Amino acid sequence: MSLLDDIETLVRCESPSSDHAAVARSAEVVASLGRRLLGAEPERIVTGGVTHLRWRFGGDPRVLLLGHHDTVWPTGSLETHPFEVIDGVLRGPGCFDMKAGVVMALHAAAAQPDRTGLSILITGDEEVGSPSSRMLIEEEAWGCDAVFVLEASADGGALKTRRKGTSLYWIEVDGRAAHAGLEPEKGCNAGIEIAHQILAVSRLGDAERGTTVVPTALTAGTTMNTVPAAASVSVDVRAWDSAEQERVDAAIRELRPVLDGTRVRIAGGINRAPLEAESSQALFDLACTLAKELGLDPLTSAAVGGASDGNFTAGMGVPTLDGLGAVGGGAHADHEHVLVEELPRRTALLTELVKTVLAQGNPYPATKSAGDSGAGQR
């Protein structure tokens, strides 16, 4: 079967992160593809009900191919967004983010003349923040010479050499219910209090430093004629450097109620450290050299606001290059797509990257310790 056929097989198996049974079915499809291509059965690792897959060849890993097989698309999305290839454009739920990348990783591994030191880790909960796979990722990456992340490319096929760090918070307010018409003065309005908290956190962003603090999902109250006794808001924080993450984290934890009789509780924290440019520079330079030798167009790089599991490995000081997956666009959107003509080119580049680093060892010294990755700060 071809690379394209294998991508179709995986895309047709829907795997929304929240549906653990669907993710388990998808894992079996990935396992079957890997078994055929690699001649080896993966290790199935189930944590928190989520199925992850790992292949190891020849002892301790020195190169890690990292990807995920869960998607943001709910079951049934194939009915409205069917798999199709028209005029060189492949479409289907999760094709770009990142089922094509998973298949590319397996094909690149299959093409290795010697897989000794190669590890492949395909997780099942990246789209929800990797709560059950983070420790597994960090354990697998520790001591590696390189981590190649098969997330989709940035615009125009650019590799992702810098990513913002992410922090995720939940602000919850306890108030006191009362009848909104008869005796509203006896209540403590959690809805008004959460509004004060939203305004407070929204002022923590810093446009000049690229730090965004965005209140997102919001809930308050139960009925139209009742003073809300509870309210909550989720907050998404993105920053280019750890100092900014820590500044915002400290400020959020100092939030206090404005209204008498209400209580504010904070959950969450720093999720992923930034993927900084120095973590990827040497591997990007190597990729540029190999692309030229392969006759490919010159590579470009991009800094992006979205985070990936590569943030975890870069935060440990392990050399990490991201965005090596499919070229296309529309991640998480109706126009999600992959450019078919780029699939063999990118897979060839990945194949050479893996082969070169496995053969050369580690010319890229780590710059941080494992303790700097933010482990446990969920």
Q: In what order do the strands lie in the sheet with 89-91?
A: 84-86, 89-91, 337-339, 328-329
Transcribe 322-360 into DSSP letters. Answer: B--S--EE-TTSTT-EEETTHHHHHHHHHHHHHHHHHHH
Cβ 209 vs Cβ 242: under 8 Å: no
Contact 266, 171 (CB under 8 A): yes
d(CA 108, CA 90) in angstroms, rounded, equals 20
The domain limits of the chain are: 3-163+274-373, 165-272
Q: Please calculate the CA angle 82-85-91 and round it to the nearest 5 degrees.
A: 50
Query: What class is the 165-272 domain?
Result: alpha beta
pLDDT at 378: 26
Sheet (strand 165-174) strand order:
212-220, 230-239, 165-174, 263-272
Report the SS3 class of residue 51.
strand
Q: Which token pair is 263?
A: 């209580």
- Do residues 166 and 345 touch, judged by C-beta distance below 8 A? no
List the one residue out of 133, 122, 127, 143 whose CA is nearest residue 73: 127
Phi, psi of 268 (to 5 degrees): 95, -165
Residue type, position 212, single letter: T
- pLDDT of amino acid 374: 41
Specify the fold of 3-163+274-373.
Aminopeptidase (3.40.630)
Phi, psi angle pair for 143, to nearest 5°:
85, 0
pLDDT score, position 59: 82
Conformation bin of residue 129: beta by default, left when phi > 0, alpha when psi is -120 to 50: left
pLDDT at position 369, please? 42
pLDDT in tens, the chain (378 residues): 699 999 999 999 999 999 999 999 999 999 999 999 999 999 999 999 999 999 999 988 999 999 999 999 999 999 999 999 999 999 999 999 999 999 999 999 999 999 999 999 999 999 998 999 999 999 999 999 999 999 999 999 999 999 999 999 999 999 999 999 999 999 999 999 999 999 999 999 999 999 999 999 999 999 999 999 999 999 999 999 999 999 999 999 999 999 999 999 999 999 999 999 999 999 999 999 999 999 999 999 999 998 999 999 999 999 999 999 999 999 999 999 999 999 999 999 999 999 999 998 765 555 444 444 443 332
- Does residue 225 sit in helix, strand or coil? coil
- pTM for this model (two decimals): 0.88
Structure tokens at 141: 């990456």
Instruction: Tell whether omega for the bond before 104 is within 30 degrees of 0, i.e. cis.
Output: no
Which residues are catalytic, by number? 70, 126
